Amino acid sequence: MKKMVMFISALSALIMCGCNSTQACKSTSCAKSTQDVSKCENSAKAEKTAYLKVASYNIQYAKTPTGRYWQSRKDGAKNLLAYHDFDIVGLQEIHPHQIEYFMPKHCAQIGMGMNSTNKDRIGSAPIMYRKDKVELLKWGVFWISETPEVMSKGWDTSQRRICTWGEFKDKASGKKLFYFNTHLDHRGKVARVEGVKLLMKKIPEIAGDTPFVLTGDFNIALNSAPIKPMLESKEFVHALNASITKPYYPEMGTFHGYTGIPRSFIDYLFVSPKIKVLSYAVLTDRIGNPNYDPTKSVKKQNMVDYASDHFPVVSEISF
């Protein structure tokens, strides 16, 4: 009987040593020193995977609360963002009063107003994130110009263009991620070409070996010459092409001009090679405005049935 008890005790110790939990790591059977405990804890933490839902959304600007059909679409924008509840989303065009209206209480933002010295803040590219999901470690901006470190216009751009970035830590896994968001010029042809080159240079410099996401309205059609260097790069992976599940999107694009019929594919979501893209979608949600008449132009009725003239682009990722 005594031999049987000794055998069971020895077997229990062996089983405990094979465990992966932090509690097992701290037991005297598994770890003989503080160094062993530290190694075991770090190993267990490294095995954790971060899961995030990220997006890019150009919510057309409204300089005033009554401009650009904002009164008919502001609740739609608020409800869309609340329902899909992106963990991190790169926004374009919006003005302060817009983000103040639709930003949920559990979210915060960086980058709003960084592109102007006055109240006319068009051109900002803020990043909105869930405070309960990720922790902001640091953030910054650079301008899409020949002098990216100072507020400036570049090349033939019609206005100042900016890239906002933030380093985040996923609270569940402890994994870190850099997030970049931009809006390239809609008029300057040279500025778009050079803007892509600048992004390809600056982002690896800032992110280093840490996984990153890049979102934005590039104002460049899919597969056209200016975007090809990024699409063909090994450092930037288009989420549309990398999704391990079938992408859900209208092939004609992401910009629709409030018609719901896509005209061009100009909104992008790129990831670094270390990131796995679990899904990709272009969301074609309607507001369902009961007063909207599809037989009349939006200008005549000063009303729309979409939250913006762009569709949001979203991916679920892991790293």
Query: What does the block give as tokens for 203?
Result: 């982002």
How far is 205 from 314, CA to CA, in rounded Å? 25
The ranges assigned to domains in the chain are: 2-45, 49-318
Given a cut of 50, whether residue 64 has pLDDT beyond it is yes
> In terms of CATH architecture, what is 49-318?
4-Layer Sandwich (3.60)
DSSP character string of 135-158? EEEEEEEEESSSSTTSS---TT-S
Q: What is the pTM of this model?
A: 0.85
Mean pLDDT (whole number) for 141-161: 96
Q: The tokens 């609340």 sit on which residue?
A: 82
Q: The tokens 């910054």 sit on which residue?
A: 140
pLDDT (0 to 100) of residue 115:
81
| 163 closest CA partner among 134, 130, 205, 131 | 205
Q: For residue 177, what is the DSSP state?
A: E
Backbone phi, psi, residue 280, to 5°: -145, 135
pLDDT (0 to 100) of residue 47:
77
Mean pLDDT (whole number) for 82-108: 96
Per-state percent for the chain, helix, strand, coil, to nearest 5: 30, 25, 45
Q: Is the separation of the CB atoms in 185 and 158 below 8 Å?
A: yes
pLDDT (0 to 100) of residue 118:
62
